[in-house]
Structure 1
Amino acid sequence: MSPVQEMPSWRVRIGFVAAVFGMFMAILDIQIVASSLNEIQAGVSASQDEISWIQTSYLIAEIIMIPLAGVMMRIFSTRTAFVISSVGFTLASLGCALASSINELIVLRAIQGFMGGAMIPITQAVSFTIFPRHKMGSVQAVIGLVATIAPSIGPTLGGYITQHMSWHWLFLINVIPGILVSMGVWFMLDIDRADKSALKRLDLIGLVLMAIFLGSLEFVLEEGPDDDWFSSSLILNFALLCAMAGILFFWRVFTVDHPIVNLRLFRERNFATGVGLVFAVGVALYGLVYLLPLYFGTVREYNSMQIGEVMFVTGAAMFVMAPIVGRLTDVVDLRLLIGIGLLMTGIGSFMNVNLTTESGYWEFFWPQVVRGIGMIMCMVPTSRIALGNLSPQNIGDGSGMFSVMRNLGGAMGLALLDTVRDHQRDYHWTQLIASVNQGREVVVAQLAQYQQQFMGVVSDPQAAAIKMIGDRVAIQAEVLAFNDIFLWLGILYLIVFPAVFIFKKPT
């Protein structure tokens, strides 16, 4: 089939806009509960260990569904597959709002993630199917903007909703838009026909192996940092399960006639390189959404609204640059844009390697602007160069793998960042605490000052003063750990930069 040369009808364009909104909701809901877990925990009487599954169950289910989108599109048709996903996501969202126990909420969050996951790659696939090549820059700018801004504003929006209404509205806000999205796609995006024969060719064994492989991998990455990795027998067992399922899955994919996903697409150099790069971009995209609230919450003790004001800068930079980058992809070599984007993301990370306990909004303003521009310059041309040359029958599988690798990059990034933070915080604590001893005059003077403050307030002023000194050292160690993380993020993007030269010039 030759590439589309003419713009689709307004009817189809409206259906595509509806699909983009559905994609936005699915990505937004990954992070929307992140800043409201304490309120949800109190609302459903959950323990600290249980509440983390609100996030984990969604992510595991979503990453299993994303690569299945291509199969769904072939079996049911594009609009039917999307509407099944959208309606399921909407009903699960309503169920989450009405859940009365943590077990109900975890199950419904898993359903929400599973059903909503298909909306992400289907929307990406539709964009390459219905729009002509000369309009792809603007279209991919919209897709890239949604993929980057949605996770960035998720915690902020979630905190605002919880603070001004209740945690139930984190899920209820999906209901009306979900209905409108479902109707819009159903009535406006009838672009292909179902192929029921694909159902007979469905590789159920491959499906099960893929679900076990991706699900256990996501579980290990999500829970590993909190459980000290392989010192936990549960994490170790899931890692072994992941390895065995992964080996069997890859063997199955390359030996059956109709595999559940077409990994042979990786023979196409631009696709393989683009998917690798989007994995690296996912590290920064999701890692920074995790890092910044953590820094401002633990070091500066900002509330969710203050954190939102800081993080808004990245989203604003992306929003302003997305249409510009989209236009540039039509006239500038995509490889050049990706290279500049990687360098800017790295430089933006280097700009935050000298944080102190007083660093606030303005210390993060320009680094976030630089990183935001860099990430959108990576995301938009990378999706175009990776998926642009795939045939129409392969675009569904390709967009699914593209989205999976972005999410896996985020999961891997979060796991590594969490582990590095714990390790470096302990390292800096050990280095700093050695210099805090009563042989130094400044320490003695500070200790005496704190003791004086606590005199008559607590029963043991000396112990309280020592704790105060310890807390100050702990905060300094925390800040130094964040500096190390930003340094290593910057180095990562310098290391990844040469991958730009692997791309063939797009046709």
Structure 2
Amino acid sequence: MAQDITFDGVQPSPQEARKLEWIGVTPRQLAGFLAMVFGMFMAILDIQIVSASLSEIQAGLSASADEIPWVQTSYLIAEVVMIPLSGLLARALSTRVLFTSAAIGFTAASALCATATTIDQMILYRAIQGFIGGGMIPSVFAVAFSLFPASKRNIVSPMIGLVATLAPTIGPTVGGYLSNTFSWHWLFLVNVGPGIIVAIAVFLLVDFDEPDHSLFRRFDFIGFGAMALFLGSMEYVLEEGPRYDWFDDSTIFTFAILCVLGGLIFFWRAFTAVQPIVELRAFRDRNFAFGSTFSFIMGIGLYGLTYLYPVYLSQVRGYDALMIGETMFVTGVAMFLAAPLAGRLSQMLDPRVMMMIGFLGFALGTYIASGITVDWDFNELLLPQILRGVSLMLCMVPINNLSLGTLPPEQLKNASGLYNLMRNLGGAVGLAVINTVLNNRLDLHLQRLHESVRWGRDVAEDTLLGLSQQLSAQIPDGDLAAMKQLALLVRRQAAVLSFADVFIVLTALFAGMALLAMFMKKPTDGVPAAGH
């Protein structure tokens, strides 16, 4: 039914009124929402923007090989603590104040990162950047499903889904270009101008809700401390575990114990506190519970493959940051082109069927990639990356709609934090599992290949003789160089075989998720918008 619409007390023309009625929001609300979407894009982009440029940062800060991964790890740990907390802060401060403060803090922290002269400073500034920036991500999802009517979710959901998945996907591309063209400082300086614009725009345009400052009087400090200990320790164990052989390392073992203790206290407070830091009642909704599980798996597909392809291109193909970014850009283009298709299909298909198609596309892409060899290049990786990009959009849109689209408005802010947390945790768990499988299978394949190249095997001795003759004509100690060259060839082949094994594991995972999609509750037609 049509309704009277005014904007700042001024009655619009009939043509403008029809446009406003069609989209369901005023131009000011739409502009404020778009500013929030761009702020979320910056926060998610910065998760991966440094991934292809860590060597440049390491050289610039004179950091060790053990220290430099913390440029990314500190951001992730801090962000994963803020994301679930953002629901409470949004209710207490209002979306406008929280997002504006987060945009200002994120921009300031980005500028500080560019001024870092030591690795300790960089780690501290990145932690601040991740913690503050984490407040922007869930707010966008909550507003999208409370501000816009259900009839327009086929437009809004692909938009936020595209941003949430495109940002980390093109992170290595953007980072590689900036560090190669300018310097690593521009990985962070690039946020300053847009960050200021976002902060101003959100402060002036966003006015979606009212603050409830009384929530601070009942703030559960014990629950917050336990949540920070639980999630921060979990993220540390998952990030560092594969590099230090898991619980054989005393530090990893200690943080694992802290994770368990923090988790026990956190869940105790979540069920007993008068006002818990995070309310878990949204998990009573079957679609939200299953949707959060799918969000977790999406994190594996999003962050795991964004990590896996660059590692292969760097270690096996010897690509630099810019070349990796150019190769990975295919997925981003596929996602961008698939977004309108996903929005259209969401009107025509049962979302559960759409999810099945998406996860089967994921499985097909990783199955094709399981045939990887040492010679795979841009052309061979083209189809798996296209399938990944299209599948990400086909999965993200229905998962968003089914998980958040039917929740009551009072649960949206809190549920949005939990939903986004699950995606980040999925990425962390996925990276840990991928690295563990890569390391274990590398050792296994090395052992098997060493048996194939031992003395007495004609193929091995002929290969070694050919390398020795070739290198002896160039350097004095050709025999020793030939032995090293053969060892490198064996190790490279073992690495490729371990990559293939990881792709097989991911194929089984995504195919299983396609079957699990049917366990979600079939959506009803005409579900009202959460905020209308």
TM bucket by the smaller chain? over 0.9
**Unpaired segments of 5 or more residues in structure 1?**
none
- Return the match for 1:473 from 474, 490, 497: 490
- Return the match for 2:347 from 330, 351, 362: 330
SS at match of 1:191: coil
- The answer (yes or no) to whether the contact 2:172–2:324 under 8 Å persists in 1 is no
Answering whether residue 204 of structure 2 is matched by residue 174 of structure 1, we say no
In structure 1, the residue matched to 2:136 is 119
- Return the match for 2:480 from 459, 463, 480: 463
- Return the match for 1:224 from 217, 241, 244: 241
In structure 1, the residue matched to 2:251 is 234
TM-fit CA distance, 1:454? 2.8
- Return the match for 1:500 from 509, 517, 520: 517
How many Å separate the matches in 1 of 2:481 and 2:281? 63
- The answer (yes or no) to whether the contact 1:220–1:235 under 8 Å persists in 2 is yes
TM-fit CA distance, 1:453? 2.5
Q: Deviations over 1:212-261 (max 9, x none)?
A: 10000001011111111111000000001001110111111011221111
Q: Which residues of 2 match residues 67-82 of structure 1 at below 5 A?
A: 67-82=84-99
TM-fit CA distance, 1:456? 6.1
- The answer (yes or no) to whether the contact 1:337–1:381 under 8 Å persists in 2 is yes
Q: Using structure 2 for the length normalisation, give the TM-score.
A: 0.93
**Unpaired segments of 5 or more residues in structure 2?**
1-20, 525-532
SS at match of 2:210: coil
Answering whether residue 114 of structure 2 is matched by residue 101 of structure 1, we say no
TM-fit CA distance, 1:438? 3.0
- Return the match for 1:156 from 173, 198, 202: 173
How many Å separate the matches in 2 of 1:372 and 1:436? 40
In structure 2, the residue matched to 1:32 is 49
Answering whether residue 171 of structure 2 is matched by residue 139 of structure 1, we say no
Q: Deviations over 1:1-32 (max 9, x none)?
A: xxx99611001100111100000000000011
How many Å separate the matches in 2 of 1:257 and 1:144? 34
TM-fit CA distance, 1:178? 0.2
TM-fit CA distance, 1:206? 0.8
TM-fit CA distance, 1:189? 0.9
Tell me which moved more, 445-454 or 200-209. Answer: 445-454
Q: Which residues of 2 match residues 213-292 of structure 1 at below 5 A?
A: 213-292=230-309
- The answer (yes or no) to whether the contact 1:134–1:330 under 8 Å persists in 2 is no
TM-fit CA distance, 1:440? 2.4
Q: Deviations over 1:88-111 (max 9, x none)?
A: 000000111111111111111000
Q: Which residues of 2 match residues 314-393 of structure 1 at below 5 A?
A: 314-393=331-410
How many Å separate the matches in 2 of 1:332 and 1:441? 59
Q: Deviations over 1:171-229 (max 9, x none)?
A: 00000000000111111111111111111122111111111100000010111111111
Look up the equivalent residue of 1:102 and give its one-letter code: I
How many Å separate the matches in 1 of 2:184 and 2:73? 18
- Return the match for 2:499 from 449, 469, 482: 482
How many Å separate the matches in 1 of 2:40 and 2:151? 23
Look up the equivalent residue of 1:474 and give its one-letter code: R
Answering whether residue 328 of structure 2 is matched by residue 298 of structure 1, we say no
Tell me which moved more, 72-81 or 368-377. Answer: 368-377
Question: What is the Cα-based RMSD across aligned positions, in Å?
Answer: 1.3
In structure 2, the residue matched to 1:60 is 77
How many Å separate the matches in 1 of 2:66 and 2:490? 28
- Return the match for 1:89 from 96, 103, 106: 106
- Return the match for 1:188 from 200, 205, 213: 205
In structure 1, the residue matched to 2:449 is 432
Q: Deviations over 1:367-426 (max 9, x none)?
A: 111121112111111011000111111101111011100000000000110110011111
In structure 1, the residue matched to 2:58 is 41
TM-fit CA distance, 1:486? 0.7
SS at match of 1:58: helix
- The answer (yes or no) to whether the contact 1:5–1:132 under 8 Å persists in 2 is no
Look up the equivalent residue of 1:182 and give its one-letter code: A
How many Å separate the matches in 1 of 2:460 and 2:214? 77
Look up the equivalent residue of 1:94 and give its one-letter code: A
Q: Deviations over 1:313-358 (max 9, x none)?
A: 1111111111111122133211111111111111111011111111
Tell me which moved more, 185-194 or 308-317. Answer: 308-317
How many Å separate the matches in 2 of 1:262 and 1:391? 14
In structure 1, the residue matched to 2:420 is 403
SS at match of 1:69: helix
Q: Deviations over 1:98-147 (max 9, x none)?
A: 11111111111000000000100001111111101000121010111011
Q: Deviations over 1:450-476 (max 9, x none)?
A: 222232654532221111111111111
TM-fit CA distance, 1:441? 2.4
How many Å separate the matches in 1 of 2:348 and 2:264? 43
SS at match of 1:123: helix
State the percentage of identical aligned residues: 49
How many Å separate the matches in 2 of 1:472 and 1:314? 30
Look up the equivalent residue of 1:238 and give its one-letter code: F
- The answer (yes or no) to whether the contact 1:5–1:133 under 8 Å persists in 2 is no
In structure 1, the residue matched to 2:67 is 50
- The answer (yes or no) to whether the contact 1:350–1:487 under 8 Å persists in 2 is yes
Number of matched pairs: 504
- The answer (yes or no) to whether the contact 2:58–2:68 under 8 Å persists in 1 is yes
How many Å separate the matches in 2 of 1:242 and 1:418? 21
In structure 1, the residue matched to 2:9 is none
SS at match of 2:45: helix
Structure 1: 4+ residue segments shifted above 3 A:
456-460
- The answer (yes or no) to whether the contact 1:85–1:118 under 8 Å persists in 2 is yes
Look up the equivalent residue of 1:179 and give its one-letter code: I
TM-fit CA distance, 1:433? 1.2
How many Å separate the matches in 2 of 1:472 and 1:48? 24
- The answer (yes or no) to whether the contact 1:54–1:109 under 8 Å persists in 2 is yes
Q: Using structure 1 for the length normalisation, give the TM-score.
A: 0.97
